[in-house]
Amino acid sequence: MEDLPEVLLEEIIQRITRTSDLNSLSLVSKSLYMVEANQRASIRLGCSLFSATETLSSLCSRFSNLSKMEIDYTGQTLSLFSYIDDSGLSCLSNCKKLMSLTLKSVPSITSRGLLSVVVGCKSLSALHLFGCKKISNVEWLEYLGWNGSLEELVVRNCNRVSQCDLLKFGPGWMKLWKFEFEIKGETNDILGFNDPLYDVHNLSTCDFFCDNLKDLRLVHIQAISDLVHHIFCGKCKALEKLCLEYIVGLNDHHIIDISHNCNNLKSISLWLMPPRYFADDNDFLYIPLVTDDSLEALALGCPMLQTVELAFHEDTPYLPEIGLTLEGIRILIQSSRIRDLVLNGANFFDDEGMMVLSSSPFLETLELVVNNRVTDAGMHSIARTPCLRSLTLRLCSQVTDAGLTELVHSQKLDSLVIEGCACISLQVAQGAAKSVHYSLESTRRNCLKRI
């Protein structure tokens, strides 16, 4: 092996994909050890890493060409493992080719350690932070905004980073094409606002543009914040994919602004939770803020829109009015080219709605979740949809084997997913599509809450 040309050794290594095989191969000869080290582009470290700081330092020294690093301690306890701390993380600053860094539930990392990485790794283009509780001040974010080349920024459940802090990213917003920000909070708390660091009386006045932003996801934040205001007011004209989950105060005006300013939008996901207020008799009064006007605006203002997801909080199906109606779905289907539609917990959607969908010449994928109003009659209607190729039914209690009869006869489905539908048998489902996933297990919580 020592006599083989280096180019041949590189070719051998490139054909091996399993990390365990690469680790074993590198022990065969010194030449393979050196070549494999130069070729290794990504490493994932987790709970099995003991003497974490020393090990990370050794790995960074050996794999000088690392471009992607993921550190994941999700679900582990401090008493069992030696966590990577700031001094260990600073070793990554020597990886000059590092382009992607992911930190998941790493409790010992602070802003100081993160700053050392972003200063040393000039090529960093993707930063993902999940549940990092000690990352607080945003010097690292300001540095990236002025000196970095970040294109992806994901911040989820880092409770010391607020939406106001994100405004300090400044000119960095111009380079981003993907941004996710999620504040950890209970969706049941629909009276309160989940960002303890948000101060409505002390908002930033900085201005920024997001000309390259194409993929945006916001969860549990305040709709009146400067961050949302900038995004919804014409600063994201390139936006193609938008996901808004349980945004406090989201209303028709926000969605209409999006339809006016984001003409390139291809996909939108709205997880809606109706606000409630105390009435005079100390009872709750539910007032819907997102109505059919939003769906009409999207249908008319976003000509490239193809994918729509509408999901409602688990309490919503029991409310008499949630703001959206079947008429809004009718307008959306008849006035746009929707190919993929997900309706999750939509208590207004019934057999008539399935008949509306059956007239769509574009619909290819339908996902119906937590629905007790669509029956076998609705399934017979949807079987006539010209281009339907994929169907998912989760917790649809009124659909039976008889409802799948037309689909079995038509043989038009490529994919069928059945979960938690007790009145549908595996035997009948298997004959309705080329690929079938069937399970009787599914819970309302899993369907209506995304992890």
What is d(CA 443, CA 419) in angstroms, rounded to the nearest whole number?
Answer: 9
Task: Indicate the burial class of 78 (C-beta count within 10 angstroms; 0-12, 13-18, 19 or more).
Answer: exposed
What is d(CA 216, CA 200) in angstroms, rounded to the nearest whole number?
Answer: 23
Q: What is the pLDDT of residues 223-265, one digit of tens each?
A: 877 777 777 776 788 999 999 998 888 889 999 999 998 999 9
Which two tokens mark 426? Answer: 């595996």
Four-CA torsion 218, 220, 224, 227, nearest 10 degrees: -40
What is d(CA 421, CA 399) in angstroms, rounded to the nearest whole number?
Answer: 7
Could you tell me how many residues make up the chain? 451
Tell me if 23 is assigned to some domain: yes
Report the number of secondary-structure helices (H) and strands (E) in the chain: 16, 17
Distances (CA, A) of 119 to 53, 89, 110, 113: 19, 12, 15, 10
What is d(CA 309, CA 424) in angstroms, rounded to the nearest whole number?
Answer: 25
DSSP string, 379-391: HHHHTT-TT--EE
Range of the domain at 19: 1-39
Q: What is the pLDDT of residues 153-195, one digit of tens each?
A: 999 999 899 888 888 898 999 999 999 999 876 544 443 444 5
Q: What local confidence, expressed as pLDDT, does residue 441 receive? A: 84
Tell me if 32 is assigned to some domain: yes
Question: Which residue type, as a one-letter code, is found at position 312?
Answer: F
Longest CA pairwise span in the chain (Å) = 87
| 8 A C-beta contact, residue 373 and residue 395 | no
Tell me if 261 is assigned to some domain: no
Stretch among 255-269, 309-323, 400-414, 436-450 having the lowest mean pLDDT? 309-323
Q: What local confidence, expressed as pLDDT, does residue 121 receive? A: 92
Report the CATH number at residue 34.
1.20.1280
Tell me if 412 is assigned to some domain: no
Please, which pLDDT band fits residue 95 given cuts at 50, 70 and 90? Answer: confident
| 8 A C-beta contact, residue 124 and residue 99 | yes
Burial 122-143 (b: 16+ CB within 10 A, else e): eebbbbbbbbbbbbbebebbbe
What is d(CA 311, CA 315) in angstroms, rounded to the nearest whole number?
Answer: 12
Residue 128, phi then psi, degrees to nearest 5: -120, 120
Strands 276-278 and 284-286 turn out to be: antiparallel
Model-wide pTM > 0.95: no
Is residue 52 within a helix (H) or strand (E), and if so which, with residue range? helix 52-62
Percent of the chain clearing pLDDT 70 (strictly above): 74
Closest CA to 347 of 367, 320, 383: 320
Tell me if 27 is assigned to some domain: yes
Which two tokens mark 438? Answer: 């069937």
Task: Please give the DSSP secondary-structure letter assigned to residue 404.
Answer: G
Asked whether the predicted pLDDT for residue 3 surpasses 60, the reply is yes
Tell me if 279 is assigned to some domain: no
Q: What local confidence, expressed as pLDDT, does residue 89 receive? A: 87
Number of domains in the chain: 1
Tell me if 291 is assigned to some domain: no
Tell me if 3 is assigned to some domain: yes
